[in-house]
């Protein structure tokens, strides 16, 4: 039986299986952000690994910091076993060194790869670029990592406190907080709804984080709340959208263009929304960096 040869960049090019030649790129700043988010998992592992991964963290960080350029371009090809033809679906690979580095950086199960197709606004027919980004599932980002909260507290006490927070059906002061949020911001900026029965006082900096950090005043501060209709509350609460300090809407890359269209949102418009952003900067900054699912620096 003839042993199949491993497809390479050259063989893929010859057989028409080349997907993109030097039009894909990774970002040094994205790698640095990913390692920052993943640091807690590297040193206080919640998952099982074959090796002690904390031994590799500093080495990998140094390798990333030593990258000469912020954008590192590479080529990708269809790496399916069949060398003779391009596949409709397949396994992509690159022979460039940056591809090996990103494969070494990522942590299994809690990481994912996002690929953005980029074309100039004024030339939609231009050959696109593809921005490959690695991200940590935001549920595992260091600010809510199980081992980054109250490290010095007794584990049983920590578990009890978490259970209390989860089981609370009525937050202390929640009615007063809701009333003050809606009085200050009486209309959902997306739907223009003013009916209080349909508005949610959505925390900018999550309530649970404020409580865990013993920041009770922030938990009940009306400036830490936006009045939103339920669907848009979900978008904001789950980190699919965020806002700049001037109230400009920033949409993430997790949802499809079809979904954005049905939500009546143009993710590229960067519209200023009526959220009364003044004096909310500390909360908006937290949301952009720790709740928003994308790296805000990639989008602004």
Measured between alpha carbons, how far is residue 240 from residues 15, 174, 225, 232 in Å?
40, 25, 17, 10
Enclosing H/E stretch for 93: strand 92-93
Closest to 131 in 3D by CA, of 60, 73, 78:
73
Q: 196 near 182, Cβ under 8 Å?
A: yes
User: What does the block give as tokens for 166?
Assistant: 């989860």
DSSP string, 264-285: T--TTS-PBP-S--TT-HHHHH
pLDDT at 49: 86
Measured between alpha carbons, how far is residue 133 from residues 55, 58, 84, 199, 298 in Å?
24, 21, 30, 35, 10
pTM: predicted TM-score of the whole model, two decimal places: 0.56
Measured between alpha carbons, how far is residue 221 from residues 96, 182, 217 in Å?
51, 12, 6
User: What does the block give as tokens for 241?
Assistant: 């959208």
Measured between alpha carbons, how far is residue 116 from residues 59, 126, 128 in Å?
28, 15, 10
Q: 238 near 138, Cβ under 8 Å?
A: no
Q: 146 near 162, Cβ under 8 Å?
A: no
pLDDT at 2: 46
pLDDT at 288: 93
Which parts of the chain register pLDDT below 50? 1-3, 141-155, 166-167, 169-170
Closest to 27 in 3D by CA, of 87, 128, 78, 102:
102
Provide the sign of the torsion angle of the four alpha carbons 245, 248, 253, 254, taken in this order: positive
Burial pattern 183-204, b for ≥16 Cβ within 10 A else e, equals eebebbbbbebeeeeebbbbbb
CA gap 24, 118 in Å, rounded: 10
pLDDT at 156: 53
Q: 235 near 292, Cβ under 8 Å?
A: no
Positions of E strands within 149-286:
200-203, 225-228, 241-243, 249-251
pLDDT at 245: 95
């Amino acid at each position: 039986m003839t042993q199949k040869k491993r497809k390479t960049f050259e063989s893929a090019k010859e057989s028409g299986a080349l997907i993109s030649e030097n039009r894909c790129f990774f970002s040094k700043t994205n790698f640095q952000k990913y390692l920052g988010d993943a640091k807690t998992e590297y040193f206080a592992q919640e998952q099982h690994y074959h090796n002690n991964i904390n031994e590799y963290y500093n080495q990998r960080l140094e390798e990333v910091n030593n990258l000469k350029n912020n954008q590192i371009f590479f080529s990708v090809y269809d790496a399916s076993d069949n060398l003779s033809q391009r596949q409709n679906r397949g396994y992509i690979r690159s022979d460039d060194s940056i591809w090996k580095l990103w494969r070494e950086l990522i942590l299994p199960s809690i990481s994912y790869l996002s690929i953005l197709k980029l074309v100039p606004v004024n030339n939609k027919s231009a050959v696109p670029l593809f921005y490959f980004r690695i991200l940590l599932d935001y549920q595992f980002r260091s600010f809510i990592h199980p081992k980054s909260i109250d490290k010095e507290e007794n584990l049983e006490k920590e578990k009890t406190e978490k259970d209390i927070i989860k089981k609370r059906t009525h937050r202390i002061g929640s009615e007063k907080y809701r009333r003050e949020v809606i009085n200050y911001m009486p209309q959902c900026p997306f739907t223009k709804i003013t009916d209080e029965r349909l508005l949610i006082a959505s925390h900018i900096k999550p309530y649970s984080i404020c409580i865990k950090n013993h920041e009770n005043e922030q938990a009940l501060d009306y400036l830490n709340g936006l009045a939103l209709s339920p669907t848009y509350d979900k978008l904001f609460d789950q980190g699919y959208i965020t806002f700049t300090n001037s109230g400009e809407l920033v949409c993430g890359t997790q949802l499809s263009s079809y979904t954005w269209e049905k939500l009546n949102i143009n993710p590229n418009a960067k519209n200023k929304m009526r959220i009364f952003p003044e004096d909310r900067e500390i909360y908006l900054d937290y949301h952009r960096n720790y709740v928003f699912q994308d790296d805000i620096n990639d989008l602004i």
